[in-house]
Amino acid sequence: MMKHLGNLFFFSASIVLITLSCNKQQQNLVSNPGNWVQKFQIGGWPRNGASSWVIGDTGYIVAGYNSINDSCLSDLWQFDPNLNRWAQKAYFPGGARQAGVGFAIGKNGYFATGYNSKIKGKSYQDCWQYSPASNSWIRMADLPDINGTGTGARYDALAFSIGNFAYVGTGFNGTWLNDIWKFDPVANSWTSISNSPINKRSGAVAFVYNNIGYICTGSNNGNEQYDFWKYDPSSGSWTRLRDIFNANKDIYNDAYTSIIRDHGVALVQPNNGVWKAYVTTGLNGTPNNKTWEYDFATDLWVPKSPYERAGRQGAVSWSFINLQRGFVGTGNSSTLSLDDYDEWFPSATFNSND
């Protein structure tokens, strides 16, 4: 794989800067590791492979797989973090499923793709809009085919929204994918982002900061992916960021031993007033509960307190930007679906008794 090296003339200075940055990060880990606090349980069945989105100060979780009944789900739940209260909403009418994607644009939520593990070969490429105002669903345009009828269907894809549009892509449909599609809810249409340079993968995470989309983690044929990208929709440009694994001779990633994973989750929230991203939970051969913090300014990662509950994959996350709060919950541990949620406090002192 091609390595991106800085100008050789500035190489020695770069080593000094990176070393100082790493030392400072290690100090932060000791004095400011962050803390996970168990908060509540989902209002409905335990589940894994559900999908979620946030509208304003309200979180939503839909569908997933329940190990108790050995079946996929189609229920929708709304959560108010201010009141710590759940409310069940209109069932998703598109069919029970897991491993779809959720996103929000404006005042509406959207749910797309996925598969039903109890129906052999049944993957989906449909997209549905949920209106909280009317508590109702309407079907939108399907994710387009790639090469022949039904080839747009997939599961374990990723999604993020910026402004009035959403972006959906990657995943698995018999092979691993790296395509990215832009969704316009007003025109009810999809447009291919034809220059996607990212490695093919499924089970990746995506997050947004300052109207820039970030994509990392995920796996391809059992190989965890370590390329890390950002996408600027205003220019249509992709930028490769520093790799998230110690895959080269650079010093910055010597400690990057546990960022890579699949089926993890991401959060975006401030740490002492500075906005950061966090990746936690997931799978890398075994459950990976290690939490890592990403600094948008330096393009560097630092380890934080591991997720404190049972090791899990297929969890969901909520980043309440207005409230500056983040939650992670559900998922499965071994073969058991889970229903617990934790809140992340990135600037707090670690407390194992929370």
Q: Interior CA angle at 180 toward 233 and 112, to 5°?
A: 110
User: How far is it, in rounded angstroms, from Cα 337 to Cα 331?
Assistant: 6
Contact 126, 112 (CB under 8 A): yes
Highest mean pLDDT range out of 120-129, 213-222, 243-252? 213-222
Confidence of residue 322 (pLDDT cuts 50, 70, 90): very high
Instruction: Convert the pLDDT of each residue in 41-87 to its tens digit.
Output: 998 999 999 999 999 999 999 999 999 999 999 999 999 999 999 99
Confidence of residue 32 (pLDDT cuts 50, 70, 90): low
Give the SS3 label for residue 30. Answer: helix
User: How far is it, in rounded angstroms, from Cα 250 to Cα 5?
Assistant: 9
Taking 60 as the threshold, does the pLDDT of residue 14 lie above it? no
230 closest CA partner among 216, 249, 217:
216
Contact 115, 98 (CB under 8 A): yes
Instruction: Convert the pLDDT of each residue in 133-169 to its tens digit.
Output: 999 999 999 999 988 899 999 999 999 999 999 999 9
Confidence of residue 121 (pLDDT cuts 50, 70, 90): confident
Instruction: Convert the pLDDT of each residue in 183-197 to its tens digit.
Output: 999 999 999 998 899
At residue 195, the pLDDT reads 84
At residue 27, the pLDDT reads 36
DSSP state of 235: T
Instruction: Please state, as a whole number, how many other Cβ atoms lie within 10 Å of the Cβ of residue 344.
Output: 24
pTM of this prediction? Answer: 0.91
Residue with token string 């890390």: 228
Q: Interior CA angle at 166 toward 103 and 266, to 5°?
A: 50
User: How far is it, in rounded angstroms, from Cα 171 to Cα 154?
Assistant: 6
- 4-13, 181-190, 332-341: which range is least confident on average? 4-13
Percent of the chain's residues with pLDDT above 90: 84
Higher pLDDT, 10 or 90: 90
User: How far is it, in rounded angstroms, from Cα 249 to Cα 145?
Assistant: 41
Strand order of the sheet with strand 316-320?
A: 35-41, 340-345, 325-329, 316-320
Give the SS3 label for residue 337. Answer: strand
Using CA atoms of 162, 48, 328, 231 in order, give the dihedral in degrees to the nearest 10: -30
At residue 354, the pLDDT reads 85
At residue 15, the pLDDT reads 33
- DSSP-assigned states of every residue in 57-124: TEEEEEEEEETTTTEEEEEEEEEETTTTEEEEEPPPTT--BBS-EEEEETTEEEEE--B-TTSTT-BB
Please state whether beta strands 51-55 and 58-66 pair in parallel, antiparallel, or not at all (unpaired): antiparallel
Residues contacting 198, CB < 8 A, separation 6+: 170, 178, 180, 215, 227, 229, 238
